Structure 1
């Protein structure tokens, strides 16, 4: 029979390379979770590499394809313990391997060969994802050399390599068990974080001292330990390829499952794309025999045929327990066991039969005695919380207790103590104080329960009365508020409906116009007994919609609350006339400050204004309940309050503006200077539209001039963004600030210029997110050299 290992070895060699037909993946190829391509399939279509859903995001891995994507079998995961990836993540094949991008920024190297030699990649039919160096015709990286919880046909688990189980069937992060191919030829399964000693192992191949160097699975389903001239198979697949139906294909995998058991699976793939999965072999582990199935101070037992974890008596689940195993802690303090001259808290003993603790945990005290003597010694030992009484031996254990489980017909009894009652200390002074358990009489117990229930009842009645008084007060306040004919502006109302007559009186018949913008004229007024100043905007050319739709839109606007946004106080609907009432911002618009005011602005003041505007945009884009794209950010819509804090106005009004009016603005309109190029191309509006407008405003803050100026010394200076880039590229930023050159903070100037140039790129993907804009302006993020604003080629930065 010596020829059998030789024959099997030849079969391993014969089929090791089966299924290596490859579909070449070129350099520069990309994957994204929700893009046109989220994975690369093997030539047969049985395997795929790419993004798959996990939790609230995505992970990158390899899976066995099923007709239903929800039933795909994950066989390998990259960076399995990293947080889930977002939907805007991207993978790109480069010379150094697979690079990971998020929000357009380069992140970690996902798969790397550590040298710039990658020429191509391929997802092989064997389930192996490979990076190639085509120049030297070699493989520089492959997933088969970095297994997670699975090996496939043609894959080996080498010496000191591990298969680590997954947390659950839906999460493929590292779980609680691992399988180790040891250097002594033994294949052993351990719980994670164990010292990898024999007492911690829950299964082994018992081949220690052999020459085995690999756990191998070939494409015919042979799962074997192999080494020089030696072979030991756990399972020999008896069905030869010739005996199978021609329209079926079998793929084999061996996996350390969530429960810690090693199993061999066969996936029978039908010609129509469906599949049938069966378990061909598994380790002979019974339920609860897997060490580490339950956590510290808990034990495993069989309940209605299922393995369940429970805390030992006197223990409760740990609050910090976040995994599927059960970690338990003492329900009381060990310090309560310490005796005194007066009294001590006593304990009663609870027993669990058929119990077993870890083989690797030796008792710190072991003595042969009767059970009654063992219990007495247990009660007197304050450092001991668990005892195992077995065959007349009293064994004391320290915490934590590990690998606890029940074993049928086990004669061992586990003893635990829990607080119970008061110890009677009325012993003579010349006698040794010994704990004695007494039981309180029933009358005292009834009295304690009656007092407790009475206190709870009184507390409940007091709480109910308090709640009722608050309710009545609120009802009275709102009733009074509702009946008031002239409410004015009260802090209790977040959005107040005004009558047209009220606003006409408060603005003195709309005589004091303070601003006129894209959405209409703004008038100053006062309201209430305190003559609170307000700004009333008369909306013009709004969309022809009903009163209900208009109220819905402004209610959404009213939910925004941020110190860098102008607060909406109320509204008025009077037939076709629609008005909005805002808080009054005293120092006018940013346009007046930049272009008409002689007020000196330090560079820290300019940076603060830019950050105020950016933080307001960040709130609109990412932090408010409904994402709002402003569509009209310009210096006239940015107001300065009494302490010179910038506040954005007119946000959320883009939906109220008539579409044809928006699209047919005259090119010389003030607003059109701040519109992104895609506005003229009828492209969908995104948050990058506001980034472009912000960039134009930022450059105007730097230079204190408008984005288009005809009264300049040269043609190059007409368009601000082009002129700023020319000065930046030539290293002549001093030309931008000739009038106040002596007080320039050059670091702030350069930082603001670079951020502004990134924001006004023609291509939306090149513009940074508003969060990155803030980080760059604050100096917390490096700023790459920006390309010319009109450059449309993709860049590595966005």
Structure 2
């Protein structure tokens, strides 16, 4: 029997070599709508390799020639843009090269010493060396389909297409895991157990998924089969079949049979032999972040949770939804001294899959009040007497009938003015009653009437107080020109001549920040080292009043992680600031100097120093300050290597006409949040994004945009780090000879990736950033920073 099998195999190989069409180097195909030069067809005529229409152009792939339409089973470089008409594809001695019309050529397949190629009747496209040695074949590189005789090896995966007409990478993948389990996941997930939506539940060593030429879909060596094919008794002897297992665009794995009459190259009948048969709402990732899937009315639909709106202008909820209100510390982003009033919306039989950060037994009414009062909480699942709190994002939401779960959400109902000006937001002592509208109207009418009267009295007193203080400030400002430092909490008003003398006529430039050059100096009275900044980019108009207001606010800031402002000078149309001298220069000069060693604990300390400085600016000083320009040049290191933030409090003094253009010139635009370019209202989430970019630079010790890299995917640091993180290859982002503390590094990377999310609502508040960096708060797996729309 063994001898007969070998002879049969040899005869088959000889027959195949005689029947296959040999393609020599120098052969080429053309991207055309009509013509025989656009593809190479297998001897039977069932399969073709070449150009097929894709979007507004053409893609290169393999398809099953079958009526009523082509069925694409493999695509080369499926995520590159379609190539235009009249592009060419060449077989060369080094593989296969694509020449897009009007563009630079692209190597589709690289090999060594290619002597021929063939499109086989099995659907496999093969490149040979020395006539018979296979150096590359499409069966080793599946995209979304397996064909009869093809297998899916351990850790290999199929990735679904976007749709039946767009064969670029879609939203789902299925992978043959090393443990022998075939598992399906959403493409943008971390592929953890909680992300899986289907599994074969098999466990065999050295397992692989194998689709036999006879149509059996099995795991391992045929012992465990998802489908074991038995030819129907009424099947004609003149009929042959081709089998394919495809991961469909909706996430289901489907096994098809295409039947052919021997005299025809076109499919006469197509039937489904087996499928995972999952409903759309059972497939995780069918709906996006902060949405839930419901099929109670028939077809599956995706809907935003209460308090959320679609993130894209088209209104396609199956992508993602975002909060309809600002989450910045429970206050309005347009007016930081206003608090947000919330109604509580309720959905029954709805749940999602995520890890709650708090689970406390309590009554439902207490749970509603706790949700309303907790600024970090956006939603609650209440069931079995437990109040489970969740932050963003809410993933894999779904409605199930009779689940006894109640979901509670905040829904902003309006804002109310804080009665104490200049102070931080405080939560109202009275509770908002939503179940009795008449009572609410009466209470609001009485409250607003009282507030109007008090506001009038308050405004009159403020006006006279302001006039008196302006007069006093002007008098003091004119009288203290020649005074020395008056103490720890006051600013000195220097004359221009004093600063010229202190800096030696501004000769020793020690740096250049976002607003101008910085010079080293020394005060004449106590020989104190100072740093003098000449502001070059302050707003026109009533700038002296604005300048004094800003430095008055800055004078009230006192924190070990902020550079101390000592004094100022207003001279004609110019202005200067006098800071404490920080001895060890900027963080950038430390990070990007390969000769200096920085331990991982020191890197974590620097990151925490910067984060605590930001926390003070956002939440702890008298007036909230959004920096808007955090980058390594604005972070200075003192003699004890403590990080201090500089250049805070002056973002509003930038000239409006230069605020976009100059940021690109001075290299700070790469640290700006994406919404900056959209002229979004200033938010603390601007600083969170910038901090995330700095944090990733601290980890990798390279700039966030670096052109001198080995591959194009490494240019943008955040995308490169996420790719390495998602693939479990973080060792690629650090130097090979570097000793790494992996737990610290992974913690910093995960926090950094959360901070640089394009969607501001996904970025954490700075207090949570500190807790995560300190290891006191669990860090969920971050999604891709630039989350692709599904």
TM-score, structure 1 length as denominator? 0.49
TM-score, structure 2 length as denominator? 0.50
Rg larger in structure: 1
